[in-house]
Structure 1
Amino acid sequence: MFSITVRDHVMVAHSLRGEVFGPAQQRHGATFLVDATFRRPELDPDGIVVDIGLATAQLAETLADLNHRDLDDHPEFAGVNTTTEFLARAIADRLADRIGAGKLGGNAGGLTGLTVTLHESHVAWASYERDL
């Protein structure tokens, strides 16, 4: 399996409901380093997994409406705990929609998997992996 990973970041505010979250129940800021890994079993006719420039641009566009936002007020996340794990899936699903719409180029149809990893810090991160 071949893969490439592109990276960006997103800065958000949010709060988490539930005793398990301790002080994170209060509204707080978070800066997530976001990695998107695209996978396919064979390289495309150009000898690549996917165009890195397009992948980088599409990740940035995917994150744009989350960046500098209070996720507690984001209509897409109403009533949802925007945990790191939840956000990894939401971003992966948004990227998958862009792949399906052809925004990563015609040869991106050969992609078979996508993993999005959100790094909360240098010691903790969460990922969501999905098939395409």
Structure 2
Amino acid sequence: MFSITVRDHVMIAHSFRGEVFGPAQRLHGATFVVDATFRRPGLDADNLVVDIGLATRELRALLGELNYRNLDDEPEFAGVNTSTEFLAKVIADRLAGRVNEGLLGEGARGLEGITVTLHESHVAWASYERAL
């Protein structure tokens, strides 16, 4: 299986509901380093997994929709604990939508999967992996 990963970052604010979250129940900020890994069993006609420029552009555009937002104020996240794991899935699903819309080029149609990893720090991160 071949893969390529592009990286960016996003800064958000949010709070959590539930005693398990301790002080994170209060409003706080988070900066995530975001890795998006695209996978396919064989390379396309140009010997690529996916066009790295298009993948980078689309990840940046997608993260721009979340950047500098208080997720507690966003209607789509109302009443949801926007954990690192949850946000990894949101980003992966949105990237998959962009692949399906053709925004990562025709070569991306051969992709079989995406994994999104959000790094909370140098010692903690969470991922979500999905098929295409």
Q: TM-score, normalised by structure 2?
A: 0.99
Quote the residue 1:36 is aligned against: 36
Quote the residue 2:46 is aligned against: 46
Gaps of 5+ in 1: none
1:59 and 1:84 map into 2 onto residues whose CA distance is 17
Quote the residue 2:25 is aligned against: 25
Shift of 1:117: 0.2
Q: Does 1:65 align with 2:65?
A: yes
Deviations 1:66-92 (A, max 9, x none): 000000011211111000000000000
Shift of 1:53: 0.4
Q: Secondary structure at the match of 1:4?
A: strand
Shift of 1:107: 1.1
2:107 and 2:119 map into 1 onto residues whose CA distance is 29
2:82 and 2:15 map into 1 onto residues whose CA distance is 8
Quote the residue 1:86 is aligned against: 86
Q: Secondary structure at the match of 2:102?
A: coil
Deviations 1:36-67 (A, max 9, x none): 00000000000010000000000001111100
Quote the residue 1:124 is aligned against: 124
2:74 and 2:5 map into 1 onto residues whose CA distance is 27
1:75 and 1:55 map into 2 onto residues whose CA distance is 27
Gaps of 5+ in 2: none
Give the total of aligned pairs.
132
1:69 and 1:7 map into 2 onto residues whose CA distance is 20
- The one-letter code of the counterpart of 1:50 is V
Quote the residue 1:3 is aligned against: 3
Quote the residue 1:15 is aligned against: 15
1:63 and 1:75 map into 2 onto residues whose CA distance is 17
Two-structure CA RMSD over aligned residues (Å):
0.4
